[in-house]
Structure formats: C-alpha cells, structure tokens
Amino acid sequence: MDRPPLTVLRERLAADGLEATESLGLLVMELPAPELLATVEGLKSRHGFDLFLDVTAVDWPERQPRFDVVYHFYASREHVRLRLKTTVPGDDPTVDSLTPLYGSAHFMERECHELLGIAFRGNPDLRPILLYEGFTGHPLRKDYAKNHTQPLVRYRR
Amino acid sequence: MDTAGKPAGALEYLTTRKDELVGWARKFSLFPYPFVTACCAMEFMSVSSTLYDTDRFGAALPRFTPRQSDLLMVVGTVTHKQAPILKKVYEQMCEPKWVIAFGVCATSGGFYQNYAALDGIDRVIPVDIYIPGCPPRPETVIDGIMALQDKIARSPHPIVNDRF
C-alpha cells in the first residue's frame, strides 16, 4: 500500500536535514529567522512547495522574543501543506522578505507589516494596503487598545 | 345636506389637517436607497421580494441614486474607512429624508468592537429607526418600516406648511 505523501515528504525533508513534525494533517517546522530565506529556497526548489499561501504573525506580549512569524506553503504535486514558524524580537521585528522566491508574498507581507508591524527586509514596497491614510499604529498587536478607534468623520454624538 | 341627483352615501367633502394629509401621502411613497455593505443584504433581498414584499408598504422601488430617494437604508457593517462615503450619500439626499439602521451592525457596531468598524451609524448621520437582529427577521424589518410610517404620519411637514 502506498504510504501517505505527508510521511514521504517528511522523510525527504529529514534526509535534507530539515526536522518537521506532523500536526492536524500539516507538516510543521520551526527555525531561526536568519535561516529562513535559504530554507524556503530549498523547500521551493528541491521539495516542490511551489505555492505560497499565507504569512501572518502572532504577538506574545510577555514572551521573549515577542513575535512568531508564521508561513504556510503548499506542494501542489503532493497536496501537502507546510507551516513554517520563526520568531523575531519585539524591539527589532525584522525577517527576510520572500518576494525573491514568491511574487505573491508581496501583498501578504504588506498586510502583515501594516497590521502587526513586522518589517520584511527586501520587500520593495511596504506601504499600508488595507487601512486608510493617516492610520497610526499596528491594530492587531496586543498592545493596541481594543476600543481605540481613529475615525475619519467627526462624530455627532 | 342636499343629496338630490347624487348616489346615496357619496362623499362630498372631507376635512383633515395638512400635516396629516401630507404625512399620509408621504408614508406610502418611500423611495429607499439601499446602502448595502454586508451579509444583512441577503435578508434585505428576502424582505424585498415576493414572500414578505415591502411593496405592500409603498417602499418597494429602490432608487440607485441618493438624489432620487428619501429613505436611506443602511444594511450591514460600516467601517471607519467607509464612514465618509455614508455621510456624503446622506448629504446628497433631498429633504424630507429618513434613515433606517438595518441590523445590529448599523445600529451599534454589533460584535465588531474594534479598530475597523464604526460603532453605530448614528455616530455620523441621524437615524430614525433602528432594526435589531443579526440579521433581523423579515417580520422585524416590516415592523420597523411600519414604525417609520407611523413616525412620518405623526410628524409635522414644515416645508409644505410654509408654502401654503
């Protein structure tokens, strides 16, 4: 009987020196931020993760380092998803941009930069994309007060 | 009263007050402008179409320009980014005009208490009728429209009074 592609891919990654665990039908990898670009380059060129699904970040205000940056990739031949986690400190939340590898990373990194304040080194254009002009702060960070609003129209009550 | 030459029971004259007459006329000719932003739109379609049929209340013909409408129905969540547009649409409408906040998001922001959503359109424009619900049932909407009709019928209509 054929072995599940998730296991096959996991063993192939292990042979390449990449340790991945399985969680709810995904492969999960954690790695330090400086290794990110080289690792993803390998995942794309050697292991078939040809689709960039998502980048987001998680804010842990009491933890050092403060942010998790979470990527999702998809191997369209094997139908396997992979989650890649890395951490960045709160005083310098910078990771390498994946725009040299995946064009679709451009807008998603812009969104993550705007909402969570993660800086993507190498992204050519990190202007705000969803919020309106004049909005200050990063609303999805935990220290952005829940009820803090920045209205564009003067309130009548 | 001389009824010779006329059928029995014919109406010869009627007394009423101007405000009542004008209000009665206006409450059955509402021209809604649907400012539809979110999922409440589905319920708005349901209440507009055959089964519940707002045409029975004279509020069936949506005008897709605010300049031809006198009832602004704000259906769905309004964000801070969208608030200037809503205000401009309201300001383009001619008097007399009324506003219905359709659903809990337009009424109070609903469960969106965050950086993005406006917590109730009455922060920006005056509202006559609030219809609660997420989404409101068609019966609730019809109740709201009837409440608006009552309000129109009871209120003075000063533009007409000035002129006549």
- Closest-approach residue (CA) in chain A for B115: A149
User: Do the domain assignments include residue A144?
Assistant: no
- B136: Cβ–Cβ under 8 A, 6 or more apart, which residues? B40, B43, B102, B103, B144
**B14, pLDDT greater than 80:** no
Model pLDDT for residues B41-61, shown as the tens digit of each residue: 898 888 888 888 888 887 777
User: Do the domain assignments include residue A117?
Assistant: yes
Q: Find the mean pLDDT for residues B115-139.
A: 91
Chain A environment of B83 (Cβ under 8 Å): 151-153
Would you say the C-alpha torsion B150, B156, B159, B164 has a positive or negative sign?
A: positive
pTM confidence score: 0.82
Residue ranges of E strands in chain A: 21-23, 26-30, 51-59, 67-75, 80-88, 94-96, 119-121
User: Do the domain assignments include residue A12?
Assistant: yes
* The token pair that represents A19 in the structure block: 């340790």
User: Do the domain assignments include residue A151?
Assistant: no
Chain A environment of B116 (Cβ under 8 Å): 131, 139
Q: In what order do the strands lie in the sheet with B32-36?
A: B32-36, B71-75, B98-102, B129-131
Chain A contact for B134 (CB, 8 A cutoff): no
CATH of the domain at A44: 3.30.460.80
**B153, pLDDT greater than 90:** no
Domain of A13? 5-121
Model pLDDT for residues B91-108, shown as the tens digit of each residue: 999 888 999 999 999 999
Please tell me the predicted confidence (pLDDT) of residue A16: 80
* The token pair that represents A84 in the structure block: 């890649």
User: Do the domain assignments include residue A69?
Assistant: yes
Q: How far is B50 from chain A, CA to nearest CA, in Å?
A: 38
Picking from A149, A150, A154, A157 by the largest number of B CB atoms within 10 A of its own CB, the best residue to mutate is A149
- Closest-approach residue (CA) in chain A for B125: A156
How does pLDDT run along chain A (157 residues), one tens digit per residue? 678 888 888 888 888 888 888 888 889 999 998 889 988 998 899 888 999 999 999 999 999 899 999 999 999 988 889 999 999 998 889 999 999 999 999 999 999 999 999 999 888 888 888 998 888 889 999 999 888 888 888 888 7
* Predicted-assembly ipTM surpassing the 0.85 threshold: no
Range of lowest pLDDT (A6-10, A146-150, B145-149, B160-164): B160-164
**B89, pLDDT greater than 80:** yes
Smallest Cβ–Cβ distance between A151 and the set B83, B113, B122 belongs to B83
Picking from A152, A154, A156 by the largest number of B CB atoms within 10 A of its own CB, the best residue to mutate is A152
User: Do the domain assignments include residue A102?
Assistant: yes
Please tell me the predicted confidence (pLDDT) of residue B1: 52
Average pLDDT of every residue of chain B:
85
CB contact under 8 A, A132 and B81: yes
User: Do the domain assignments include residue A147?
Assistant: no
**B164, pLDDT greater than 60:** no
Percent over 90 (pLDDT), chain B: 34
Please tell me the predicted confidence (pLDDT) of residue B83: 92
**B161, pLDDT greater than 60:** no
**B3, pLDDT greater than 60:** no
| Partner residues linked to B71 by β-bridges | B32, B98
Picking from B85, B115, B118, B124 by the largest number of A CB atoms within 10 A of its own CB, the best residue to mutate is B115
Q: Find the mean pLDDT for residues B20-38.
A: 87
User: Do the domain assignments include residue A79?
Assistant: yes
Cβ-based interface (< 8 Å): residues of A facing B? 131-132, 139, 144, 146-153, 155-157
pLDDT tier, B6 (very low <50, low <70, confident <90, very high otherwise):
low
Q: How far is A120 from chain B, CA to nearest CA, in Å?
A: 24
Spatial contact of B155 and B23, defined as CB atoms under 8 Å apart: yes
Q: How many domains does chain A have?
A: 1
Chain B environment of A114 (Cβ under 8 Å): none
